[in-house]
A and B are shown apart, each in its own frame.
Chain A
Amino acid sequence: MADHEVIVAIVDDDPSIREGVSSLLRSAGWRVETFASAEEFLARSQTDPLSCLLVDLQLPELSGLDLQNWMIDAKLEIPIVFISGHGTIPASVQAIKAGAVEFLTKPFDEQQLFHAISEAVELDRGAREHRAELRQLRVRYDSLTPREQEVMREVVSGLLNKQVASELDISEFTVKVHRGQVMRKMHADSLADLVRMAEKLGIRSSKNS
């Protein structure tokens, strides 16, 4: 059901919840880490990335929502599932708005929990794949020479070789050579492929930027 890379973190100040949910998730094969407060969680090393965060809304000191905001600010894209004793409408709305995967009201049953966790894990998997692809593109892009990068920027903006040559004040032949290198280094099958890659990398033509 789940691969072993997946780690679920539980942040709840109540040991009953923490231990019960932990046991339940572990019985389903997830790796679980528990934290009694947001502060304790933040002190955790981030080298082993988490797939899901199960957070109590009413944490002492730093609340669940505070933690969510902090993670958004820190660009930590871990899917969050909120749990709460008494789900107040304003709090749940705020949480969902800020990107929470699910909002569970205690006591929740196994199916609700597993569903939410699975969803979060899937979400994380997608995000992870996206991040891996981007990382690969970035590596490829970084292997281009500055001139090649200039050529790629011009090409993906829809200019013809001739136009690129004039733009860059080089010969059309040279553009062709660079373009061939770019396609090869970027593992692009087609121009459309390269354009999509450029989009993912957020590359824009110098004219447009």
Chain B
Amino acid sequence: MSALTVSQAADYAEKNPDFIPCYPQRAFFSVVVVSILAAAAFASWLPLQVSIVTLFLFAGPHNWFELRYFLMRLPVRFGRSRNFFVTAFAGLAVLTVAYVSLPFVYNARLWSDDAWSTIIAGWNTALLFWLGLLVWLRSRQKRKAKWTWTIPAGLVLASLNWLGPDSFSLALVYIHPLIALWFLDRHLRRTRPEWLRTYRRCLCLLPLVLAVMIWQLSQTTALPDSNGLFWRITQHSGAEVLPQVSSHLLVSVHLFLEMLHYAVWIVALPLIGGVIKTVPIARHPRGFPRLVAGLLIAALAGVVVLWFGFSMNYSTTRDVYFTVAIAHVLAEAPFLLRML
């Protein structure tokens, strides 16, 4: 049996509304697989150089697209979700301010190493408590949801965090990029359910690629950290927390996950999502179109400022970005919970 051409499939689809042509799925599958393999190849080949270029190009834009996506998911009136959103925004603000102040606290040099670890563990515990509170508030809205297991799970995580605060923080660095894949999964379930199976098959490739990367790179020599920028990149990937692991492996794996993260927010979700007019709080008669437009324009200006900063002083801008960017990491939690 010969395959249908695109035009034949289109004609057939017009006559049969239930017919779903498989061409987009195949294209989607191909794009996802090629993206994963290409990201892994570049991340393994030149981790430091690609990391610098990737961050410069995509860090700011991905935050802008993320902000736009969150605005799209924000209801016009909170209604029954009022407590949830109040908790989400209050926690977001408090945790972000606390995190941004940590470098200043550290530079005050009033703390021993042990006390500093306790401070980090305290912030991580506050994060887990906030997440637990959001899960509890969300579960009250979903009567069928059985999320009580999250309480002991959260306590176990908090316990592990107190045993190794640095390791826990490093785990967050590596887990955060994967959250974007979860967002895409939930979004496909709503908008392109026929693609979901294909997408999840593609995700099966991820552990395989990671295993190959670890196998290939575990024996490699450490990356040079002779200058401040390279040192920052290796430290961010956990070279100090895991001194026995090759920094080449650490940077490559982290970069690989970050590239997937950027690809989801900048390419996948906008293509599937929609245009600016779909932001409910902007298009609704009782909405805030000017506020939304102002926010997005301000964020766009922020992207330009970030590019300018990277051009002038890459290392310092990188430090500032990764400190302030904790806000977008935290913001993902409530919006993901709303999609569960």
A binds B: no
